[in-house]
Structures are given as C-alpha cells and as structure tokens.
Amino acid sequence: MLTLTDKAQETLQGLIEKSGKPLTGLRIAADMAGCAGVKYRLALVSNPEPDDHIVDCGLLKLYVVPQNAEILIGTTIDFAETEKGGGFTFDNPNTAGMCACGKSFAA
C-alpha cells in the first residue's frame, strides 16, 4: 500500500526518540486543501484510530485514514534535505499534477 524509504524511517524514528513519548507510528491523511486541491497531513501518534488501515514498516507503523487509502495506494514517502532544510517527499502515482508551490496536488 505505502512504502517508507530507509531515510524516512530513520528520520521518523529519530523524531519519535526525541519526543520522549510512547509514539508507535505515523498517521497519514490527504485533506482537501491547498491550491491544487489535496494536501498531505502527517502526525506522529501513540495509537491508530479504530478504523485506520495499518501498514507495518518494521520499527514503526503507518496509520492510513481509511477515506484516503485509495488515493495513497502506491505512495513512497522519503525524507530529503536541501540547503533550505529537510522535509518529507511523496512519490504518489495517483496524482494528476502538483501546484506551482509544490505543497498540494490534484488527484
């Protein structure tokens, strides 16, 4: 369903360790927002919501909001560092295009 690269897993594991909280995974959603229509929403959480789809990624889990599962199928999440900082990137085969600012996509 979804894939985390090694770099994304390492980054998330580091964020979880830094938090000092009993976090178990990353909840991912695709909200209607942004100039192209859809924007990713990520949150480190302790537990999934009862209806979340769970993807086991080894040391952590991805919790996928069920309403967004179809649009997220096949997505690879990575972490990239640039001279302006770092951030998560998404290679989603279901996008129809990105907005000019690169923060949202059309589905």
Across the chain, what does the average pLDDT equal?
86
The count of residues in the chain is: 107
Those residues whose C-beta lies under 8 Å from the C-beta of residue 15, and which sit 6 or more positions away, are 44
pLDDT score, position 99: 55
Q: Which domains does the chain have, with CATH numbers?
A: 2-100 (2.60.300.12)
pLDDT score, position 3: 92
Q: pLDDT for 24-35, tens place per residue?
A: 999 998 876 656
Q: pLDDT for 63-100, tens place per residue?
A: 999 998 888 899 999 999 888 888 898 888 877 665 55
Which of 71, 70, 49 lies closest to 62 in space, CA to CA? 49
